Amino acid sequence: MRTWSYSIPIQAGATTALTFTPHGDGRVTLLGQNLTNSAPGVRVHRASNGGWGVDNFLQRDVTFDQQLGLLDSDLVMVAVGANDVGRWTPTEFADKTNQLIDRIHTAVPQAEIALVSTYDMGSSQLPALVAAMQQVASDRGVGFINLYEVAGSYSFFQSNHYLSDGLHFNSAGADYVGGIVSDAFATDGASLVPEPAALGLLAVAACATLRRRRRRSCSGR
């Protein structure tokens, strides 16, 4: 696996397109693109795939580990669970989440890890998976953002028109949830609990990693 860099020329009023055309009959797989500019700020690499659960990431070939190494991220956010409902028991889900943490640690041992639960999608099976994820985060000493608890109920998402199809976020919903995650980092986890006194119960243990490194981040869902 290799990386290749290209500087896109900027011309006022002009549109630039970058096209990849393989030569011959060999197969070429593009694992992603990283768009950057000279402006400072947090760089986010999104590695999610529609319909994927934790097992899909565990089944990725070695290019997954190579990608993590090349990105050299300070923080890896693991947001899984939405597509794992009904597939695994809480114990099985916890075991697979631990396996994914181990794989990430091996690929990028210097990176922090933060687990992110899915929001309340209305499934009665979801709370048990979220609890399993929270227990894994506590046992492993990694970060945890509990969207299920702090983002609101399923009816809240519906009434605020945050969903495009009854399940996935539209632009407003994405902005809302993104703000929750962003605030968690900006407040060192204090925004995730209703009262400052509760900080020691959740934010210190679950979100201590959120305040350590913020230069770049990589998310997998």
Question: Greater confidence, 194 or 219?
Answer: 194
Average pLDDT for 26-46: 82
Residues 55-74: pLDDT tens digits? 999 999 999 999 899 888 89
Classify residue 217 by burial, with Cβ atoms within 10 Å: 0-12, 13-18, 19+. buried
CA distances from 34 to 127, 179, 202 (A): 35, 23, 34
CA distances from 122 to 72, 89, 125, 152, 166 (A): 36, 18, 9, 11, 10
Q: Quick count: other Cβ atoms within 10 Å of Cβ 172?
A: 13
Residues 139-169: pLDDT tens digits? 999 999 999 999 999 999 999 999 999 999 9
Q: For residue 194, what pLDDT is reported?
A: 66
What's the CA gap between 126 and 50, in Å, rounded?
Answer: 18
Q: For residue 167, what pLDDT is reported?
A: 93
Residues 203-220: pLDDT tens digits? 333 443 444 433 333 333
**Domains in the chain, start-ordered, CATH in brackets?**
43-220 (3.40.50.1110)
Residue 180 β-bridge partners: none
